[in-house]
Structure 1
């Protein structure tokens, strides 16, 4: 029986390899095309674009891992079905649940690997990609081995000591230059909340006008300020929320709520990340009834087209639900878990029917 389990698991993994190569190549090409648009800005080269793409591609692949698992199971089990091996297993007394068990174990192992990657690996790689972009773009630099970030946008020079949770700049200094290129004012703040692309909310602020004689610093507990960075430099400083580790998202949500800011989008992203294991298990199991229910030989391309269609619909459904949840501030837990739980229930019901 263990030999059968190993064989089923091996077919699942062998089916995953071409899917990873195909989708990884396609998504990597699209990500590289986007990065190549920045070639020529500062010291950003084609090699830099490739390095940034390689650092960000794993996070993209993890996001679509449930679809990869569905296609892998359809290809692996479909190959066995075409060789009448599934029929032989059923004739030997193996139920649908028993055939699905090795796939489920592989999916659980992938869940553990994904959790470890999203907690310890992916955030660091995303930060490395941001730092790489920041160091090669014009007028932006990282101070040696420190975390200090310097950039200039128009008449403002910004220094950021560090970025907490990947999205909260701390230990800020904003220098405003006058027409004569001398520093006209200095703003120092303990931290900043990036409200949106246009506004920052500074905390524990000290403002000093240097063009006034004996000007004393003006202090504010909070100060709303126009975003001192353009969209390009902001993107090189602030980490995408989708790439944050769950613990970083939790900390960021707590920080936003402590300061009375809207955290709904980030709570939805947190629950969406936590629902990925459910989606991975559901899509893996969903392939089993499709293979067991077809006694005739089915071309691999037809199975891939079926899996691709289901995966695309699933992805679009998640995207639509995500936008609706954020737009109308619907319950993030319910909306994030509903598509995955629905697919899981359908898969369990279908496998149960095939076992009769």
Structure 2
């Protein structure tokens, strides 16, 4: 009898521990934060909407662990209408923390709940693109844009088959709620493929959605730089710098544009705005080498070496490369004359 009582006491204890560790059927596989029992002493939410509202409130004050917990609790309500929204928020929190595996899991569950959730599709495209799977990323960007065209009641769509032309991007309808990052992501992928006209058409749509997007302005500037359209490139990067004067990517783009235009002193000055002078001089020399101008690179690399001996190794390696290229060019010139 005593043994039976002890068995049931142990069983009840185990059940209580199990309930405490899995409140309201919470899916702990989507949680990654401090212990749940330290998060909130409030009564459990009575509805899905209440749980999501609590999550939104927690997120607004920077308590991402509590927000994550509340959004996951929203998933425990059977026949919930907003599971894809909760899963999107869960994914975004994990994404902001750099936990792409959990973000991907949440977003894929969100797509199961609603295959046409534009925001979820867009973020999956972003994740896969960052992971290096550009084709998969592109397919989700297409799906996000196509779902948005349905929302906007148009007959336009993008097919994953065949080559997409800039004109096909230009006719797509957008508004302030359209997936900016899907268009920007397609633009980046097009630039990687050296299809700069397509990239610029994508960036134009992204800027129609959010005209002051610094990221898009920098990307479109770099696209025009790569296609040799330096004046356009400069116009867009200057717009970005008006909003964020210390943005390093924008400053680097502007310096590269000046180098492309042959305005080397200006390039040095721009690089010097966010790095030490020797590093700026070395950068100018390095990029002049990449642009096929090793002879012009030499004096700037020598200045970098002279101005900071601790920077000697990097600048000297670049100087040796520049001198070797100049010798090769001279030899090639002599051979062609003979």
Max Rg structure: 2
Higher helix share: 2
Higher RCO (CA-CA < 8 Å; seq separation 6+): 1
Q: TM-score, normalised by structure 1?
A: 0.27
